[in-house]
Structure 1
Amino acid sequence: METAKTISITVSATVNAAVSKVWEFWSEPEHITQWTNASDDWHAPYGDNDLRKDGKFKTTMAAKDGSMSFDFEGIYSNVVVNELIEYGMADGRKVSVQFKGNGDTTEIIETFDAENTNPVEMQKEGWQAILNNFKKYVEGF
């Protein structure tokens, strides 16, 4: 019997802001709803976040034209303030987000298990686009 091998995908960005600001903007719902989209024709009309071990999160991502939406949700398994967030998504995939502060910059390294529906490259591009949107949002604030 063969078992499917989990493919991990990593995206990263360096944000021109201190890690404390990056952490706040990553974790507070009023900020999450402002940057969680991969393209300008999508938005995040709802966000809820209980950032602690065993805490739950949910962000609704939706096409602005109303044609499609989905909830991105999961449960945190590990939270180290200003350093690390690990969680399991509702579909069982795992995600790790590292925050490496260096004065006025913070490197974010996000690694996630690929899903089996969309091509790996498409998933990587989508998650990178959201991370780039986060960078743009934080730096413009």
Structure 2
Amino acid sequence: MSDLANRTLTIEKTFNAPIQVVWDAWTQSEHIVKWWAPSGMNIKVIQHEFKVGGKWKYSMLMPDGNEFISEGTYKEIEELKKIITSADFKPMTENVELQTYFEAIGDKTKFTFSVIHATPEYCKQQEEMGFYNGWGSALNRLEEVLKES
């Protein structure tokens, strides 16, 4: 596990919204469809069982007409604190783990999002493919959605 740092990409943000609002935006289908994709893209929730062992599956229509599928299984859920899930983003990213942590700081929420890859090489490849731009864009959309709530 000592190479964990070399296999992990992390984005930290502080959202100007209470933790319950951020949690709901991350965990409820009606909110997920508003932001879980880079700007200009639409997302469809195919399956969403928010419980340990539950499966989630989202579809994003690409400009070329192909579907981009995101799916995984929830491994750990600690209400208002953390969500850990397996994830595949076919065809670009497979067999990663998403770790999402939420921390209330007054009426704001410190949010830490990490993606753990199988190898340091795979991690580097994902970073070069645009991890920070893609997730950064989605999280910026989340920030906009939170302002409206």
Sort the TM-score into its range (normalised by shorter chain). Answer: 0.7 to 0.9
User: Are the counterparts in 1 of residues 102 and 112 from structure 2 also a CA contact under 8 Å?
Assistant: yes
Amino acid at match of 1:10: T
The alignment covers a number of residue pairs equal to 135
TM-score by length of 1: 0.84
Amino acid at match of 1:98: Y
Q: Deviations over 1:82-121 (max 9, x none)?
A: 0000011143211100001122100111000358495514
Q: How far apart, CA to CA, are the structure 2 residues paired with 1:127 and 1:60? A: 16
**2:101 matched to 1:103?**
no
Q: How far apart, CA to CA, are the structure 1 residues paired with 2:21 and 2:60? A: 23
Unaligned runs of 5+ in 1: none
Q: Which residue of 2 aligns with 1:19?
A: 19
Q: How far apart, CA to CA, are the structure 2 residues paired with 1:119 and 1:88? A: 16
Runs of 4+ in 1 over 6 A off after TM superposition: none
Unaligned runs of 5+ in 2: 89-93
Work out the percentage of aligned pairs sharing the same amino acid: 22
Q: Which residue of 1 aligns with 2:91?
A: none
TM-score by length of 2: 0.80
Q: How far apart, CA to CA, are the structure 1 residues paired with 2:126 and 2:47? A: 29
Instruction: State the secondary structure of the residue aligned to 1:23.
Output: helix
RMSD after superposition: 2.1
